[in-house]
Amino acid sequence: MRLRTFTAPSISEAMRQVRAALGEDAVILSTEQVGKQVKLTAAIESARSVAATATAPAAGDDIETALHYHSVPRALADRLLATAGELEGGSPQQVLTAALRARFDFRPLTDHKPGRPILLAGLPGAGKSATLAKLAARAKVNGWAATAITCDLAKAGAIEQLATYARALEIPAYRAKDAATLRRAVAKTETSDLTLIDTLGTNPLKAGDLAQLREWAEAAGAEIVLVMAAGGDVIESAELAAAYAEAGATRLVATKVDVARRYGGILAAAEAGRLAFAGLGTSPEIASGLAALRADQLCRLILPASRAETRTTGASDNKSLSGTA
């Protein structure tokens, strides 16, 4: 519920302010004459809040409610809650951040120059090419020399797309049609600080696809990083991650976070594949680069900052506050 008070010389003026601030659905809770002024108290309740379980975690909610909302698998939620239980003290945000840090690995791709090429793998449409471009953009900011190689030959326009990104970012781009050409392309990138390899969208249900992925990674001497869109089905995400981990993936970049609301899938994926969190795609903008994904960012996705915190920092406006919307 959002509740606000309005003071105006007349009731109609006060009503106008209510409509302007809270919209047509506002309910007048009380009216009062204060001297020559009229004081109105009005509120709105968002429709979303009617169904308890469909309510996005609101500030002030607890960790358990949030994990439930995100459909974090039971066993994982239990482990996080158990860890959180050991960490009493601090806000729910602090506790959950600490629990996530204890349960997961966080190794952002943009923190250090990786010792070997990075091979981006994942389902078709997971956001591999955009991730490559964002990583390259970030590498530029870091002052690293980056190189792009694509193995994504099957997809129409893949090479053109890469060429466009590469030109915009002024980095060399190569193409590889098989493991042998990939090996030769990587050999040419000796002076590169960050070699990024884009792959064909793999079908992890096909043993052949995963075998090919492994073959490429070996040929390139590359680390496999799984690129996965957030918001996917929890079990599906976990199974996918396990399959890619089987093929050698060790880190996870979560993409399309801006167009998802539930993040249980990426948590389940990291857990099932024992993948370290490596990055976060939060917008379609290439130039914004890939955000590092650390425990506190992950926590913020799951549990928004609390009202208690805004209150103690004095940031809240005491005339208007959102309740459990």
Question: Which positions lie near other proteins, rule CB under 8 A?
Answer: 1-5, 27, 29-30, 32, 41, 43, 45, 49, 52, 60-62, 64-65, 74, 77-78, 81-82, 84-90, 92, 95, 308, 311, 316, 318-324
Q: Which is nearer to other proteins, 177 or 319 (CB)?
A: 319
Q: What separation in angstroms does the CA of 276 have from each of 177, 270, 273?
A: 29, 7, 9
CB atoms within 10 A of CB 202: 24
Q: Which is nearer to other proteins, 8 or 163 (CB)?
A: 8
Q: Which is nearer to other proteins, 26 or 123 (CB)?
A: 26
Q: How far is the CB of 241 from other proteins (least distance, A)?
A: 24
Let me know if 94 is exposed, middle or buried by CB neighbors in 10 A (0-12, 13-18, 19+): middle
Q: Which is nearer to other proteins, 79 or 140 (CB)?
A: 79
Q: How far is the CB of 88 from other proteins (least distance, A)?
A: 3
Q: How far is the CB of 30 from other proteins (least distance, A)?
A: 4
Q: How far is the CB of 2 from other proteins (least distance, A)?
A: 8
Q: Which is nearer to other proteins, 57 or 279 (CB)?
A: 57
Q: How far is the CB of 87 from other proteins (least distance, A)?
A: 8
Q: Which is nearer to other proteins, 62 or 296 (CB)?
A: 62
Q: Which is nearer to other proteins, 68 or 274 (CB)?
A: 68
235: which 2 tokens? 């079990």
Q: How far is the CB of 35 from other proteins (least distance, A)?
A: 14
**What is the chain's length?**
325
- Contacts of 291-297 spanning 24+ positions with Cβ under 8 A: 292/108, 292/109, 292/110, 292/111, 293/106, 293/108, 293/253, 293/254, 294/106, 294/108, 295/97, 295/98, 295/100, 295/101, 295/104, 295/106, 296/93, 296/97
Q: End-to-end CA distance of the chain, in Å?
A: 6
Q: How far is the CB of 234 from other proteins (least distance, A)?
A: 17
Cβ contact 213:199 at 8 Å = yes
